[in-house]
Structure 1
Amino acid sequence: MNLRAILTTIVVLIAALAGTIWLGRGNSTLETGNSGNPQKSVEDDRPQVSETGPYPKAVVDEELYKFGEMAVGQSLSHKFVLKNEGEAPLEVKKGNTTCKCTLSEMKDNAVAPGESIEIELIWTPKTPQETFGQTATIWTNDPKNQEMKLQIEGTVNNLISFTGDSLGSPNWSLPVMSTEEPVSFTGKIHTKYLDDFKILEMISSNPGLTSSSKPLTPEELKEVDAKSGYGIKITGDPNKFPLGGFMERLTVKTDIPNNLKSEKPDKAHKHADHDGHDHKHDEQAEYKEFVIQVSGNHTGPIRIVPTFGVHWNPKTMVLNLGEFDSKEGKEVTLSMFVEGTEQPLKILSQEIVPDFLKFELKKDDKFQSKTKQRYELKFGVPAGKPSMSFGRGNLANVKLQTNHPNAKEINFRVRFISL
């Protein structure tokens, strides 16, 4: 071997030795740091098994209980019975649990041979679930059964069901308002978990929307697999709604307690305050109320026909301009046919949001009809405006006040995205 090869081998060996020493120092430091305050393991809390015997024997009547169906917010419980069939006291301790778990009292913290205790699992679901499962772990000093898994299973539904229920939010639609005659829709509110409940009050967000209720008949309850419920009739008065699509709210207040274990009130109670006067207290805030979304469309004496390629929704009276280049802008044209008046339609006032939205109404004098008039509607976003979006929740709006006796107010809503 030549001198260069020998020198190279010596350098490699020295580098390897230095690295080994450095790594050894690093590991020594880590071990010293960890050995100072060792963390207590969860396993240390388990009951200790005797090395010589005699031994206890833990026997549970069942390890899985199926609740079946239950309602959101409803607290249900089940008691498992744990018996000691062995020859020594059975030590029992609660381990990890995904629900509330309680153990009945034990003398000297142990179950004597031949005796038993109850282990109660309590579950209060917060949301609907097709299948739910909860588990409680029980530790014992039975050498053959040191860890026991107690389980509960079931299905969670909404406490109250509605016609048109969608993910817990009922949506009802009124028939189209095309004349001055009121229109109505009847839906149902019902439950399979309560023998009885009362509707205390129904409040509408629009004075033109009224409501009434009556208990469901036994036949109607059977159809929806319910114990109790009501039919709710909602009526819309076209004279109190502007033309266009609308979305209103009907708040239904009930006597169902927010805590299902609390009692229902008969009336708002009175008590004497420090000044000696009686004061009423509204307890309805402690009880469940539900909101029904009510949608509809008031077309009245007008009918709108879009030109080719224009996206118009006649049910909601929403014009969708789609996406377009903000540098170029966009403009569309629709035809509007008006009945019920011989006088030309005039705009008395208008509100346009955003204010740069272009709107134009022009009568078609060439259109010949004894019962109708035709108008040309133009909507547009001017070129050169900044990029913006008007969509669900913040639609652009054109509100008109007119001279038509049956179309005094007309609302057009517009959605678009300019890029």
Structure 2
Amino acid sequence: MKTFLACLIVAGIGATIAYNINESNYGRYEPHFGPIDFEGETTASNAMAALKKEWSEDIPKVELPDGNEHDFGIMQPEEEGEHVFAVKNVGDAPLTLKIGASTCKCTVGTLENESLAPGEETEVKMTWTVKTNDSTFGQSAELRTNDPTQVAIRFEITGKVVRQVQLVPETLTFKEVASGEPIELELKVYSYMGDEIELGQPKFTSDEMNELAEFEVTPMEIEEEDTEHAEATQAFVVKATVAPGLEQGPVSQNLVMPFSKVGEETVDASADSNPDEEGEGGKTIV
């Protein structure tokens, strides 16, 4: 009986000590989102009002008057482009800006002003070089801010890549042809130049094929349904007929297409012409 009473006394003392330690360490702990009074002064209905007393409403806020995307339209390979985006601070505190990473070393972003007072606006200039062989291009750069709702903004540039003069299709193919049958080929030439051009006499890079080939170059209207080439200023149809007489076996040749501005002398599409090479009277493409 005495042992049982002793155990009860020890247990009571231990519980009292544990309670005092817990109350001392955690009983009056203030949560991260503000004070909570266990007597009922802070409730679900007035919790936000209590938080507003602790937090400042003066924060910066980013606004992009013209958005963060821009379609630049048509560009040529290796051509340089430039576009300016607008950034405005519509908040109540200073806005800080910093240019972050870009998708390519050929894309550079520059800031006119790295700190904006409330109501102030600045420009972010993006410059880039088209470094792709695809028919479309896309570049982007990141802008970092101290706006808690938009800590990173990505500006994006998109467009279409075309040469000054484009061949469609770029590769002419034909299946097996009997040695006694002619070969007929057709392609379209689209010009995206501001100046009117004219095509010269096309030639293959093979003297043997040139002796057997006949070409017909005809201007054509760009159809409204042809949205892919809607920006082209001129178009031509080039038809080639190669008479029978080629040696048996695989055939792989380049077609050299000379062109020049109207009024200038057209270059000679000789077998040693280089693609897109400037000549005294124009250019050639292969």
| TM superposition shift of 1:118 | 1.9
Deviates more, 1:92-101 or 1:202-211: 202-211
**Structure 1 Cα separation of the partners of residues 64 and 151 of structure 2:** 13
- Find out whether 1:170 has 2:165 as its counterpart: no
Q: How does 1:396-415 map to 2 (within 5 A)?
A: none
Cα distance change of structure 1 residues 232 and 223 upon mapping to structure 2, 3 Å threshold: farther
Specify every segment of 5 or more residues in structure 2 that has no aligned partner in the other structure, as ranges. Answer: 1-54, 267-276
Q: How does 1:352-367 map to 2 (within 5 A)?
A: none
Residue number in structure 1 paired with 2:144: 139
Show CA shifts across 1:68-97 (max 9, x none).
Answer: 864552555443210122345433221111
Residue number in structure 2 paired with 1:102: 109
One-letter identity of the residue aligned with 1:139: R
Cα distance change of structure 1 residues 127 and 186 upon mapping to structure 2, 3 Å threshold: closer
Higher relative contact order (CA 8 A, sep 6+): 2
Residue number in structure 2 paired with 1:284: 279
Q: How does 1:356-395 map to 2 (within 5 A)?
A: none
Q: Is contact 2:112-2:124 (8 Å) kept?
A: no
Specify every segment of 5 or more residues in structure 1 that has no aligned partner in the other structure, as ranges. Answer: 1-50, 257-263, 269-281, 292-419
RMSD of aligned Cα (Å): 4.3
Residue number in structure 2 paired with 1:67: 71
- Find out whether 1:249 has 2:254 as its counterpart: yes
Cα distance change of structure 1 residues 127 and 230 upon mapping to structure 2, 3 Å threshold: same
**Structure 2 Cα separation of the partners of residues 133 and 245 of structure 1:** 39
Cα distance change of structure 1 residues 223 and 235 upon mapping to structure 2, 3 Å threshold: farther
| TM superposition shift of 1:144 | 4.2
Q: Which has the higher strand share?
A: 1
Q: Could you state the TM-score of these two structures normalised by the residue count of structure 1?
A: 0.39
**Structure 2 Cα separation of the partners of residues 125 and 265 of structure 1:** 33
Q: Is contact 1:63-1:149 (8 Å) kept?
A: no
Q: How does 1:33-44 map to 2 (within 5 A)?
A: none
Residue number in structure 1 paired with 2:61: 57
**Structure 1 Cα separation of the partners of residues 122 and 98 of structure 2:** 12
One-letter identity of the residue aligned with 1:204: F
**Structure 1 Cα separation of the partners of residues 188 and 86 of structure 2:** 42
**Structure 2 Cα separation of the partners of residues 52 and 105 of structure 1:** 29
Counterpart selection for 2:96 from 75, 91, 112: 91
Q: Could you state the TM-score of these two structures normalised by the residue count of structure 2?
A: 0.53
Cα distance change of structure 1 residues 252 and 62 upon mapping to structure 2, 3 Å threshold: same
**Sequence identity percentage:** 21
**Structure 1 Cα separation of the partners of residues 204 and 124 of structure 2:** 48
Cα distance change of structure 1 residues 60 and 245 upon mapping to structure 2, 3 Å threshold: closer
